[in-house]
Amino acid sequence: MLHLIIYFLVQSEAANISFAISDFSNARILLGTPSQELYLSLSFSDNLTTIYPKFAYNESSTFLIENQNNQTFFFQDYLYLDDFEEKILLSNLQYLEKNEEIQNDGILGLNINTSLFLSNIINSSIISQNTFSFYLNQDGTGELKIGDLSLLEDNTDIIYENYYSFKGIPSFDIGGMVLGTTVIISEFPAHLNPESEYIIGPQASVNKIFSSISSKFACSISDYQYLLCPCSEIDNYPDLSISLNYLSLTVDHRLLFSEITENDCKFLMTYYEDSAWALGRPVLVAYSTIFDPQNSQIGFLENQVFPEEEENSEEKPFINSDELIMMVYVIIGCIIIFLAARGIYLLSGWLSSRGQTESEEQAPLLEDYDAIEIAKFRASRNK
């Protein structure tokens, strides 16, 4: 059995609390009420390290970390936990007497120190909200992070800080770039330069990128250092999709260019030191959760949306509830007015017809009365 020392660390302003458990291959973390269980089964061999997270309620997921030539570990799949509360109970299946209940007001980390985690190790997982992030550092440590509660006034929920974390100069593979629906380049290596604050890759890659873009759009290569495109055409350009390992990052077309003259805009990728291309700071700052080149930290949220698009992308109801209630009242009012007018009209018609009938009934009586009076008048004259 490989001897491990695993530290569960909670960082807060008040104090740093930590305890170590050694010589075990299984650990359990209980979260929330009712608790959800995370089992970590750590088994090491020459070529494979497997971590098995498992929930209560028969939900499960598997993390597979493959050791390729003892250099790089790849992290796959997700771990979702919901209904977090303040208390987190840490326990070890073999050492239950060492259970600790702690206040979670900071970052809970699982640090694995072992010679198997070598240099050039990178977190290759897609990290999104409601997930654990498990990342491995070049100094030979791995860390499982739950979240950063520093933005909360009341520690009743978790805010997740999702990022790639590196010590030293981080290197990674860019799985490809797609401009709109056109694949402009396939996989190639890159790294973050802390001094220049750029992501840098090989020169051969930028040649292909520039050639592909300039052949499809009205752009020209200037001084073999950057790509110039007319600013008036920016709105017609598609978005750029970049694949960073398993992370898919979509760069809004408005961030692909920076204006250098009234008519010319520079594409975000440029040559760097005559041997590489560079993905510039505007994109990194706009899209990264953490951008700290001096400490070699950079991170991206999954499926990010450009801020203006995010506002416009929210589905707005065709009509709100207040307007709907008002419309119902207006319709009901119109119906009442219509019925009242109709009633008045019918009533007046009925009264008019009744008066006409009475006049017709009285007409013969008047005629008989006149005849009697005429007869009386004639009789008086004959006398």
Is 101 in the same domain as 183? no
Mean of pLDDT values over 314-336: 71
Mean of pLDDT values over 72-78: 27
Out of 116-130, 197-211, 244-258, which region has the weakest mean confidence (pLDDT)? Answer: 116-130
In a domain, 51, yes or no: yes
In a domain, 350, yes or no: no
pLDDT band at 12 (very low <50, low <70, confident <90, very high): very low
Q: Is the dihedral of CA 151, 156, 162, 165 positive or negative?
A: positive
The tally of CA atoms less than 13 A away on the side-chain side of residue 300 is 22
Mean of pLDDT values over 58-73: 29
Check: CB of residue 198 under 8 Å from CB of residue 270: no
Checking if the pLDDT of 312 tops 50, the result is: no
Is 97 in the same domain as 176? no
Higher pLDDT, 336 or 114: 336
C-alpha 241/C-alpha 250 separation (Å) is 4
Residue 361 is predicted with a pLDDT of: 56
- Say how many C-beta atoms besides its own lie within 10 A of residue 77's C-beta: 13
Starting from the edge strand earliest in sequence, which strands make up the sheet with 43-44, in order?
A: 43-44, 48-51, 63-68, 72-74
Out of 113-127, 237-251, 295-309, which region has the weakest mean confidence (pLDDT)? Answer: 113-127
Check: CB of residue 136 under 8 Å from CB of residue 103: no
Look over the chain and give the mean of its residue pLDDT values, rounded to a whole number. 51
Residue ranges making up the domain that contains 244? 171-307
**Which residue, of 307, 323, 343, is where some domain finishes?**
307
Is 192 in the same domain as 223? yes
Top mean-pLDDT range of 37-46, 192-201, 306-315? 192-201
- Say how many C-beta atoms besides its own lie within 10 A of residue 276's C-beta: 20
Is 48 in the same domain as 149? yes
- Say how many C-beta atoms besides its own lie within 10 A of residue 233's C-beta: 13
Is 212 in the same domain as 134? no
pLDDT band at 51 (very low <50, low <70, confident <90, very high): very low
In a domain, 118, yes or no: yes
**Which residue, of 113, 137, 162, is where some domain finishes?**
162
Residue 177 is predicted with a pLDDT of: 79
Please state the domain count of the chain. 2
In a domain, 331, yes or no: no
Ramachandran assignment for 147, one of left (phi > 0), alpha (psi -120 to 50 degrees), beta (any other): left
In a domain, 155, yes or no: yes
In a domain, 376, yes or no: no
Mean of pLDDT values over 243-265: 70
Residue 344 is predicted with a pLDDT of: 83
Is 189 in the same domain as 153? no
Is 138 in the same domain as 9? yes
CATH number of the domain enclosing 209: 2.40.70.10
pLDDT band at 17 (very low <50, low <70, confident <90, very high): very low
In a domain, 372, yes or no: no
Top mean-pLDDT range of 29-38, 239-248, 256-265, 355-364? 256-265
In a domain, 346, yes or no: no
Is 177 in the same domain as 301? yes
**Which residue, of 134, 162, 190, is where some domain finishes?**
162
Report the SS3 class of residue 222: strand
Is 184 in the same domain as 253? yes
Nearest to 174 by CA among 185, 165, 187: 187
Checking if the pLDDT of 342 tops 50, the result is: yes
Check: CB of residue 114 under 8 Å from CB of residue 97: no
Is 295 in the same domain as 251? yes
C-alpha 96/C-alpha 30 separation (Å) is 12
Is 45 in the same domain as 87? yes
Nearest to 106 by CA among 123, 129, 88: 88
Is 113 in the same domain as 213? no
